[in-house]
């Protein structure tokens, strides 16, 4: 009986044999954690780098070169309609003279929180008047092929000072412009309408109109 007892003792399995952690040290665990932390740090660094590079490229373009603008209202119909998406060119207005007929974006001098889209009609030093809805520059009528809806209003002659412009909407009977708010100083001008990007069927760029009897 004693021999059988010894045999049973020899064949017995230690209770915690399957939980032996002697081959897995704390150093190995720390190394695994550090490896994952390193990979995560590299990923975060790459994301931050891409974001910073993108901002470095996009922000100067957005702030100083071009910016988007949505048309609000009907003052420029039929050439520009509500909610059309426009790209505004700012850089040309830092280096080039403004020209008659350009469609521009400017801050309302009476409330600089609001923006207007209008067309440059009168240039600095010119005399501008409106009689029966038709514009006169230095006494000469301005032929405007882009206007379909002329008004019947009258505006007394005004001589524009240096760096002042007379702005008008193409929809003359439905436009708040220099006839009401007065001439616009160049400091309020944001930029020239360059591209219409939406809707797709009206995508277009814009050229300055030709005036036969009036200089640009």
Give the per-residue pLDDT at 32: 74
> Is 118 one of the catalytic residues?
yes
**What are 184's strand-pairing partners?**
165
pLDDT, position 95:
73
List the chain residues with pLDDT less than 50. Answer: 1-10, 12-14, 16-21, 24, 55-58, 60-61, 64
Encoded tokens for 119 = 């067309």
pLDDT at 216: 64
Instruction: Give pLDDT, residue 8.
Output: 46
Residue 50 has what pLDDT? Answer: 65
Q: Given this model, what pLDDT does residue 207 score?
A: 84
Predicted local distance difference test score (pLDDT) of residue 1? 45
Tell me which of 54, 107, 118, 152 is the catalytic residue: 118
| Cα–Cα dist 187/87, whole Å | 20
Catalytic residue among 12, 54, 75, 154: 75
Q: Is 75 a catalytic residue?
A: yes
pLDDT of residue 9: 46
Distances (CA, A) of 202 to 3, 85, 193, 197: 102, 10, 14, 8
Element (H, E) at 42: helix 26-60
The domain defined by 71-205 folds into Umud Fragment, subunit A (2.10.109)
Instruction: Please tell me the predicted confidence (pLDDT) of residue 17.
Output: 46
Nearest CA among 202, 190, 206 for reference residue 66: 190
Strands 111-122 and 164-168: antiparallel
């Amino acid at each position: 009986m004693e021999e059988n007892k010894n045999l049973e003792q020899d064949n017995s399995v230690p209770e915690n044999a399957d939980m032996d952690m002697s081959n897995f040290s704390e150093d190995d665990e720390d190394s695994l954690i550090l490896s994952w932390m390193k990979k995560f740090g590299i990923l975060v660094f790459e994301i931050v780098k891409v974001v910073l590079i993108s901002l470095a490229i996009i922000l100067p373009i957005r702030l100083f070169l071009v910016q988007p603008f949505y048309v609000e209202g009907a003052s420029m119909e039929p050439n520009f309609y509500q909610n059309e998406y426009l790209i505004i060119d700012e850089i040309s207005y830092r280096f080039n003279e403004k020209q008659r007929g350009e469609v521009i974006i400017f801050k309302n001098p009476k409330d600089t929180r609001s923006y207007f889209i209008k067309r440059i009609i009168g240039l600095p030093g010119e005399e501008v008047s409106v009689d029966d809805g038709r514009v006169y520059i230095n006494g000469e009528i301005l032929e405007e092929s882009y206007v379909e809806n002329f008004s019947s209003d009258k505006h007394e002659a005004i001589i524009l000072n240096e760096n002042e412009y007379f702005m008008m909407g193409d929809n003359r009977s439905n436009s708040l412009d220099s006839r009401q708010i007065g001439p616009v100083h160049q400091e309020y001008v944001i930029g020239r309408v360059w591209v219409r990007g939406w809707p797709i069927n009206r995508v277009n760029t814009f050229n300055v109109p030709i005036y036969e009897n009036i200089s640009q």
